[in-house]
Amino acid sequence: MLSRRLAVAALTLLASSGVALAHGPTRQKVVEKIAIDAPADAVWAQVKNFDALAKWHPAVAESLADKGNAEGSVRQIKLKGGGALTETLERYNEAGKSYTYRAKDGGALPVTNYTSTITVSGEGAKSTVEWRGAFYRGFPNNDPPPDQNDEAAVKAITGVYQAGLANLKKLAEKK
């Protein structure tokens, strides 16, 4: 009886503290760029296929896409370290050497509502690849655990982009 009353009191406390606390998460972003000593066309050729991620990202084991580079194509990513991601191609711009995709919530990254764009630009023998993403942290409410807070989300996405871009540079500059 006592424990039940205590439980109710605890629940009430939880509920009221939840109400008293502020707004949920705010949207975060990561923008990473890398300069590559290779023409933009050549770099784009390596990343342009939505299902080619496994060929240039060192953390990705598989990246099969069901409709190639058509908007709406869904790629199933398996990571080498375990874990999976499902991403849908939202926008594909061959002329602008750019594509945008959106991840399904609940994947291996501690983020939600995650969209990402990769763009290759350049002049002559040099190019720049920009990879950017917008997302919310994994934990939707206040007081997130450390592995699902804003910092964890930014760190994870930064890691994905930096590792991918570094390896892409290595591949593209290899003769």
Binding site for another protein (CB under 8 A): 19-24, 26-27, 29, 31, 90-91, 100, 102, 115, 117, 132, 134
- Residue 91 Cβ vs another protein, minimum distance, rounded to whole Å: 7
- Residue 175 Cβ vs another protein, minimum distance, rounded to whole Å: 34
Residue closer to another protein by CB (options 2, 19) is: 19
Residue closer to another protein by CB (options 12, 93) is: 93
Instruction: List all residues 6 or more positions away from 86 whose beta carbon is below 8 Å from its beta carbon.
Output: 74, 75, 76, 77, 103, 104, 107
- Residue 23 Cβ vs another protein, minimum distance, rounded to whole Å: 4
- Residue 124 Cβ vs another protein, minimum distance, rounded to whole Å: 22
Residue closer to another protein by CB (options 2, 22) is: 22
Go through the chain and tell me how many residues it has. 175
Distance (Å, whole) CA 94 – CA 58: 24
In what order do the strands lie in the sheet containing 84-93? Answer: 28-36, 126-137, 111-123, 98-103, 84-93, 74-79, 60-65
Residue closer to another protein by CB (options 128, 167) is: 128
